[in-house]
Chains A and B, each alone.
Chain A
């Protein structure tokens, strides 16, 4: 089944404890990106990647890192999480520029 898989789906952590949210797609998509969704603010892009080893900042990249060493994987790294990073995170991918975006099921992160 074609899909975008995120893990973990739910996580509660404490301030400063490094964590990684993994994202994997099995559709050979070139483009991958991360969004966060917050009440009243909608979805905002954190980082995106146009292909392997090509990444760039979105609208709200502060406090996050990403890497794209393989086409299928695009992990989101929070080096030192803070409470304002408590949010619902989505990974998305698309085959090529301008095509349909496929979203993962989301990862709900709480930072205490």
Chain B
């Protein structure tokens, strides 16, 4: 059974700093991995999606990497801003369940950017 872990559960960083969020998964047979952000009282917003054949994806100040063999992904946020404060979730889609959109989610890292 796939397990997804995000450590730490919470992180506080001064504004302007670069930071890295971590995601680990136990089964490397994944189809892709997706990063989301969740703002309080709101739904999830999809940030980046990395296919299993890719090493990284970039969108603006965000860069996500994937090392499937070691079961790790990182989300790099450059020049952090207070608006980046949110909970960040990673989720993996298993290759064996192709055809089912079931994702296995981590429990998230709550990020606070200190002005």
Binding site for B on A (CB under 8 A): 4, 31, 33, 40-45, 48, 50, 56, 58-59, 90, 92, 94, 97-106
Contact = CB atoms under 8 A, between A and B. Distances in A.
Interface string B89-115: 101010000111111011110000000
Contacts of A58: 102
Majority secondary structure of chain A interface residues (helix, strand, loop or mixed): strand
Contacts of B21: none
Place the interface of chain B in its size category.
20 to 34
Residue with the greatest number of chain A CB neighbours at <10 A, chosen from B98, B100, B106? B100
B26 interface: no
A48 B100 contact: yes
A100 B32 CA distance: 10
Contact of B46 (A56, A97, A101): A101
B78 interface: no
Given A43-B89, A90-B44, A106-B43, A101 B31 contact: no
Contact of A48 (B45, B51, B102): B102
B81 interface: no
Nearest to B48: A100
Given A50-B100, A104-B43, 11 more contacts: A4-B43, A40-B107, A42-B105, A42-B106, A43-B89, A48-B101, A58-B102, A59-B102, A98-B51, A100-B34, A106-B43
